[in-house]
Amino acid sequence: MGYMGERRKSQRTVVSEPVIIVWDRGNAVGEVRDVSPDGMYIALPYVGDVTGTELVVQILPAHPREAAELPGVVRWSDARGMGIELKNGSRGVAAIEGLIAARRPS
């Protein structure tokens, strides 16, 4: 599977936050490396081709932000991680916006 950057709907922001992936394979620990309101790239050990798999991303941001659970679908995966498309209407948009805002220069 390849990197799908040319298909992005919005610009991504570089972040570094721990996450837990909750899916039918059990839980997995990874790290969000970039994020947008539409999706994110999560670095984690290779889990095979999981394209199309539905999951929940639990973001565990540093204090003072609250944790968030974001439902999504794996759009691609490779040996470095996977690209997640967040489901429309996700109540975690505020959490994503918080991650992005934390990376903007003040």
Count up the domains in the chain and report the number.
Answer: 1
Contact by Cβ (8 Å): 61, 95: yes
For residue 74, what are its two tokens?
């794996």
Q: How large is the average pLDDT for residues 15-34?
A: 91
**pLDDT score for 73:** 96
Residue 27 is part of a domain; what is its CATH number?
2.40.10.220
Q: Could you tell me whether strands 39-43 and 54-59 are parallel, antiparallel, or unpaired per DSSP bridges?
A: unpaired
Tens of pLDDT, residues 48-95: 899 999 999 998 766 666 778 899 999 999 999 999 998 865 556 666
CB atoms near residue 84 (< 10 Å): 26
Distances (CA, A) of 38 to 8, 13, 34, 46, 49: 8, 12, 11, 23, 21
Domain membership of residue 28 as a residue range:
5-103
* pLDDT for 34 beyond 60: yes
CB atoms near residue 79 (< 10 Å): 8
As a whole-number percent, the residues of the chain with pLDDT over 70 amount to: 67
